[in-house]
Copies of this chain bind each other. A is one copy, B any other.
Amino acid sequence: MNYKVFDQQDFQAVSQIIGDAERVLYKENINEDYSHDELGGTECYPDMVVRAISTEEVSAVMKYAYENNIPLTPRGSGTGLVGGAVPINKGIVMDLSLMNHFLDLDEENLTVTVEPGVLLMELSKYVEEHDLFYPPDPGEKTATIGGNINTNAGGMRAVKYGVTRDYVRGLEIVLPNGNVVSFGGKVVKNSSGYSMKDLIVGSEGTLGIITKATLKLLPLPRKAISLLIPFPSLEQAIRTVPLIIKSKTIPTAIEFMQRQTIMDAEEFLGKKFPDNQADSYLLLKFDGNSTEEIEASYDKVAKICLEQGAIDILISDTDERNDSIWKARGAFLEAIKASTTYMDEIDVVVPRNKVSEIVEFSHKLQEQVGVRIKSFGHAGDGNLHAYVLKDDLSEEEWEKRLALAMDEMYKKAKELKGQVSGEHGIGFAKKPYLKESLDSEILDIMKGIKLAFDPKNILNPGKVCQ
């Protein structure tokens, strides 16, 4: 595609639409943050940044971009890991983080309607104050809900409660031509044509810009208990997971972690974790409305863990202890990042009875390729987060080893009937792996879908299937 070269005139035209000099940035005034996301592997400065505050602004700027053939890339708080919000064709970045208002809390329909820039941590706090519950719980709490919807983020409670998709009821989006449309609503069921809502969820800002989202809520469970379960080896820990599932008790979350990750997190947070003596841990959460109900579930699971060689069962039943454990868990990514010079990530998802196989594979791969690979993740839903660390490798050596490690990991995931991404998305960085994992015909259909929404390929071009 040949895009128009963005010039001073374009800047003035878009600035006029916005009418507030504080919310437009041009060339050298653009903060470095806008050139990359959280991992930073994909880098490119936009020509202009617009910090929109309303659907009308998003629509008007999008329309200008469309009419003038200028690429536009939407962005939340930039916590993505695959370059999805990086403007690789330059043009305009539409920063939606100021559109962060709660529009409606509907207790009769159990929905909340928000703007896309509301942060995950604000959302959960807001609804919990009303004794309600938004179950998706990705580790990165400073992500926006718009970003979460765009990657179909899953998070830790997916074992019991499912992923973001399951909680999106309705969306307002700005189409690539600038027109505003809505899908779904507060309705619980919908079978009225192809599910546009489900196409937008997980489309990484390539089909439309989300300007409003109506989300399903649940009553807030009254109690939560976490179990931290030390195991002598990771293999023993992870191999216990399918047995837990098979026992027909579904915990809210089943995470796995290794000692080194815990110690990195302790250092990063300057806080002690309840235990760091064992090689590996399962961290389980149970929630419900009564202590009895929860105890009945976890008694059964604790027994299975002990049978499988668990060293102990550490029960955490106060808010304070729960908080300290889950805060540490939330800091794993940052802690690993702080422990090395640079890293890249793998977010494969495999059937949950194959998690141990892919983790063991990643361990062997470390020696084989000669890089450190740190992993933790959602054992209960088969979603492994593995980080390949550069440490003090030369650039050349790093590139070589990283490519090798990535290739091997994705090949293994495919062999186990897994998928390229569980929740981080494809963005720019994972395109080659998506291409390899999918039937070429499916990729062509995806391109056809992109075309149906965006015939000029103007919205977040060069991402996902392109």
Min CB distance A429 to B, Å, is: 13
CB distance A382 to B188 under 8 Å?
yes
Chain B: minimal CB distance from A82 (Å): 10
Query: With a CB–CB cut-off of 8 A, which chain B residues contact A381?
Result: 188-189
Which residue of the partner chain B has the closest CB to A82?
B191
**Interchain CB contact under 8 A, A194 and B109:** no
**Cα distance, A109 to B243, chains bound together (Å):** 10
Query: Pick the contact of A464 from B151, B159, B190, B194 — CB < 8 Å?
Result: B194
A41 to chain B, nearest CB (A): 18
A195 to B434, CA, bound (A): 13
A418 to B382, CA, bound (A): 37
In angstroms, Cα B188 to Cα A154, docked, is 9
A358–B248 alpha-carbon span in the complex (Å) = 40
Cα A124 to Cα B449 with chains together (Å): 35
Task: Find chain B residues with CB under 8 A from A441 CB.
Answer: 175, 179, 181
Which of chain A's residues 382-396 have a Cβ closer than 8 Å to chain B?
382-383
A408 at the interface (CB under 8 A from B): no
Contact with B along A138-153 (1 / 0, CB 8 A): 0000000000000111
Asked whether A318 is an interface residue with its Cβ less than 8 Å from the other chain, the reply is: no
Of A199, A292, A464, chain B has the most CB atoms within 10 Å of the CB of A199
- When C-beta atoms are compared, the residue in chain B nearest to A196 turns out to be B442
Across-interface contacts of A219 in B (CB, < 8 A): 248-250
**A232-255: which residues lie under 8 A (CB-CB) from chain B?**
242, 245-246, 248-250
Q: Does A333 contact B (CB under 8 A)?
A: no
Contact of A422 among B189, B422, B446, B448 (CB under 8 A): B189
Instruction: State how many angstroms separate the Cβ of A151 from the closest Cβ of chain B.
Output: 5
Beta-carbon nearest neighbor of A166 in chain B: B166
Residue A107 at the B interface, CB < 8 A? yes
Closest CB in chain B relative to A211 CB, distance in Å: 15
Please state if A191 and B352 are interface contacts (CB–CB under 8 Å).
no
Residue interface mask A185-209, B partner, CB < 8 A = 1: 1111111111110110111000100
Closest CB of chain B to A10's CB: distance in Å? 25
Task: Say whether A419 faces chain B, with CB atoms less than 8 Å apart.
Answer: yes
- Complex: chain B residue closest to A207, CB-CB: B194
A218 contacts chain B at the CB level, 8 A cutoff: yes
Question: A451's contact among B152, B193, B293, B452, by CB below 8 Å, is which?
Answer: B452
Chain B neighbourhood of A198, CB < 8 A: 165, 195, 198-199, 201
CB neighbours of A444 from chain B (8 A) = 452
B residues in contact with A184, CB < 8 Å: 419
Interchain CA distance A165-B189 in the complex, whole Å: 10
Does A349 contact B188, Cβ atoms closer than 8 Å?
yes
A158 at the interface (CB under 8 A from B): yes
In the bound complex, residues from chain B placing their C-beta under 8 Å from that of A106 are 351, 353
Alpha-carbon distance A383/B353, docked complex (angstroms): 37
Tell me if A38 is interfacial: C-beta within 8 Å of chain B.
no
Looking at A153, A192, A198, which has the most chain B CB atoms within 10 Å of its CB? A192
Q: Are A194 and B203 in contact (CB under 8 A)?
A: yes
Q: Is A290 an interface residue (CB 8 A)?
A: yes
- Give the Cβ gap from A402 to chain B, nearest Cβ, in Å: 20
Q: A196-B442, A423-B191, A452-B452 are in contact. Are A351 and B185 (CB under 8 A)?
A: yes
Contact of A190 among B196, B248, B349, B465 (CB under 8 A): B349
Name the B residues within 8 Å of A196 (CB-CB): 442, 445-446
Is the pair A382, B190 in contact by a Cβ cutoff of 8 Å? no
Q: Does A273 contact B (CB under 8 A)?
A: no
- Within 8 Å of chain B (Cβ to Cβ): is A401? no
Question: Considering the chains assembled together, what is the distance between the CA atoms of A152 and B183 in angstroms?
Answer: 16
Check if A462 is an interface residue, CB within 8 A of chain B: no
Closest CB of chain B to A442's CB: distance in Å?
A: 6
A246 contact from B107, B420, B423, Cβ within 8 A: B107
With A132-B248, A190-B349, A445-B453 given, can you name 13 additional A-B contacts, CB distance below 8 Å? A109-B351, A110-B245, A151-B191, A152-B195, A181-B441, A182-B439, A187-B349, A187-B417, A190-B419, A191-B422, A193-B465, A196-B442, A448-B452
Closest 10 CB pairs of A and B: A448-B452, A219-B248, A198-B198, A188-B381, A108-B353, A186-B351, A189-B422, A108-B242, A154-B189, A192-B420
